[in-house]
């Protein structure tokens, strides 16, 4: 998890473990994984990172839609 250019590895591992615990042995699509990541970031109070991730996903979706036209 990154804030101000630094990575807090302990928090990053905590978020990753939360995502893995949520998904466990499920087979899911990319969209579901991304939503679980967003939720885990917010659950662990990484609001700035969650917002940046949400905005990144939105920009990527806009890019894909524009490319399809």
Q: Residues 39-51: pLDDT tens digits?
A: 999 999 999 999 9
Q: What percent of the chain has pLDDT over 90?
A: 77
The answer to whether residue 2 scores a pLDDT higher than 80 is no
Q: Assess contact for 44 and 22: CB atoms under 8 A.
A: no
If you average pLDDT over residues 16-20, what whole number do you get? 96
Q: How confident is the model at residue 1 (pLDDT cuts 50, 70, 90)?
A: low
Name every residue whose Cβ is closer than 8 Å to that of residue 32 and which is 6 or more positions away in sequence. Answer: 23
Query: How many whole angstroms from its chain centre is CA 58?
Result: 12
């Amino acid at each position: 998890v990154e804030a101000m250019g630094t990575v807090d590895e302990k928090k990053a591992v905590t978020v990753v473990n939360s995502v893995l615990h949520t998904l466990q042995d499920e087979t899911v699509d990319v969209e579901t994984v991304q939503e679980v990541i967003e939720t885990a970031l917010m659950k662990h109070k990484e609001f700035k990172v969650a917002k940046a991730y949400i905005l990144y996903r939105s920009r990527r979706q806009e890019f894909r839609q524009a490319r399809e036209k």
